[in-house]
Amino acid sequence: MGLHSLKSLLRPLHAALPDNLRRQIDIGSVSLQDTLRNWRMPAYRVRSELPDGKSEGSILYLGDRPQYASWTHKLFGHAIEPAFLGNFSLFQILGERTPALAADITLCPLNPWTMPLFAKRGWHVMPLFVNCLIDLRKPINELITSKGANHPMRVARRFDYRFENKKSDQALHEFFQQMLIPTVQNRHEERGFFSKWEDIQHIHQNGVLIAAHLDDEWVGAILLAIEGANSIRIANLGWRNGDDAWLKKGIVAALYYRSLTWAQENEFTEFNMGSSSAFVKDGPLNFKLKWGATMVPPEVRFVDGQIEGSRSFVGAKLDLGSAASQSFLASTPLLECTEGRLRAISWNAEIPPQFQRQVDLGCSWVNLDELGDKSLV
């Protein structure tokens, strides 16, 4: 019996299974395919002087993940081209007996199958991003109570922006070329991720593009993606030429507030402010938290019959005896996921004031220096 015939035979059996069981089988199948496809992964090392100028540090990257550039910036303060070391199997990566793979910090992509395997060997399971959710069943003015959100809102109100929903492909293309791309380039440099034009078009078909005008000029816009009957998400945000002058004029606060009010007026109950890097002190993350958002880790889900989110996590192996790792965790606390919950890990770092609300809501703050060897269990 050929593989195609076997699949045809199993398909009706699969469809007859209960939803929960079918979901687990589908996730397992995708994880197995991903594990086999990435059984051997390329390894890259970045080694350089640390910002203190007194010592060196090293990061080892496994697999090809563009998000790794953010780690280089966080540890060394600037971009560095990684050096290719070769290809290594999962046995070599997990075995910890390959001298070529030694580093202060090692990062490796994970899937639902490999996550528990790496966690048992002392790796920290980190989301590549966290989503920031707002409960729209509450009055918006009750959500925006922090000083960090109120100040930009006062600035935005002084400029009295006018808003318009734009539906044409021409307007969408202008937003993409003259606002979104320049904004990403200016704000994130080589660490930025550029959405594909085709993806922007797809989102806009069922979403909404809210444009902000000042006097007679279109100065910024936000693209919202409808994720379900009750949920809507910020997909993209940009302003004219990516010029930072618009930030000082409250353009982001104006677009956020208008998006929230539009979503509430249209009876959405959940507002996803979009994904942010899983670094506690990440600027975009904390800006969203100031608006009353709550962090949640990514989840594996089905979209249009396809599984998404199965590779939304990365394993981080930290040499806690190295000065580089300790310095990194002291200045850059990380968010990791344990048993489906987020917790922050640090090295003798104080809880930032803007993050205190997340701790109050149940996000644990862990000092790995106090845990000692327990952090590797």
> Tens-digit pLDDT profile for the chain (377 aa)?
443 443 444 455 445 555 566 556 666 676 677 667 777 999 999 999 988 888 899 999 999 776 788 899 889 988 899 999 999 999 899 887 788 899 999 999 998 888 889 999 999 999 988 999 999 998 877 777 666 677 888 888 999 999 999 999 999 999 999 999 999 888 765 544 567 899 999 999 999 999 999 998 999 999 999 988 899 999 999 999 999 999 999 999 999 999 999 999 999 999 999 888 899 998 888 888 888 888 988 876 655 555 565 578 999 999 999 999 999 999 999 999 988 889 999 999 999 888 888 999 889 999 999 986 444 43
Tell me whether residue 87 is in a domain. Answer: yes
Regarding whether 24 and 70 lie in a shared domain, the answer is no
pLDDT tens for residues 254-294?
999 999 999 999 999 999 998 888 999 988 888 888 888 88
**Residue 24 and residue 44 share a domain:** no
- To which residue do tokens 């320049």 refer? 182
- Which CATH number fits the domain that encloses residue 155? 3.40.630.30
Whole-number pLDDT of residue 113: 84
Residues 60 and 18 in one domain: no
Of the three residues 268, 284, 317, the one that is the final residue of a domain is 268
Amino acid at 322: S
The reply to whether 212 and 263 lie within a common domain is yes
In a domain? residue 200: yes
Residues 114 and 218 in one domain: no
Burial class, 321, CB count within 10 angstroms (exposed 0-12 / middle 13-18 / buried 19+): exposed
Do 226 and 322 lie in one domain? The reply is: no
Nearest to 72 by CA among 94, 97, 47: 47
Paired strand residues for 37: none
Cα separation, 141 vs 177, in Å, equals 34
Print the SS3 string covering 218-256.
Answer: EEEEEEEEECCCCEEEEEEEEEHHHCCHHHHCCHHHHHH
Domain count, the chain: 3
Angle between helices 323-331 and 68-76 (to 10 degrees): 100
CA 112 to centroid of chain Cα atoms: 17
Whether 18 is in a domain gets the answer yes
- Decide if 279 is inside a domain: no
Tell me: do 255 and 151 sit in the same domain: yes
DSSP characters for 50-109?
Answer: -TTSS-EEEEEEES--TTHHHHHHHHHSS--PPEEEEEEEHHHHHH---GGG--SEEEEE
Say whether both 316 and 233 belong to one domain. no
Reading the block at residue 291, the tokens are 């608006």
DSSP state of 376: G
> Does residue 208 share a domain with residue 168?
yes
What per-residue confidence (pLDDT) applies to 269?
Answer: 95
CA 228 to chain centroid, in Å, comes to 20
Kindly state whether residues 46 and 31 are assigned to the same domain.
no
Q: Are residues 222 and 248 in the same domain?
A: yes
Instruction: Classify strands 40-49 and 56-62 as parallel, antiparallel or unpaired.
Output: antiparallel
This prediction's pTM? 0.80
Query: What is the reported pLDDT for 182?
Result: 93
Could you tell me if residue 181 is inside a domain? yes
What per-residue confidence (pLDDT) applies to 54?
A: 80
pLDDT given for residue 231 in this prediction: 93
- 245 with 351, same domain? no
- Whether 292 is in a domain gets the answer no
pLDDT at 271: 95
Q: Where is the domain boundary, 247, 268, 289?
A: 268
288 is a domain residue: no
Q: Which one of 249, 268, 287 terminates a domain? A: 268
Nearest to 233 by CA among 219, 243, 223, 241: 223
Q: Cβ(358)–Cβ(376) under 8 Å?
A: no
Domain that holds residue 107: 40-129+308-376
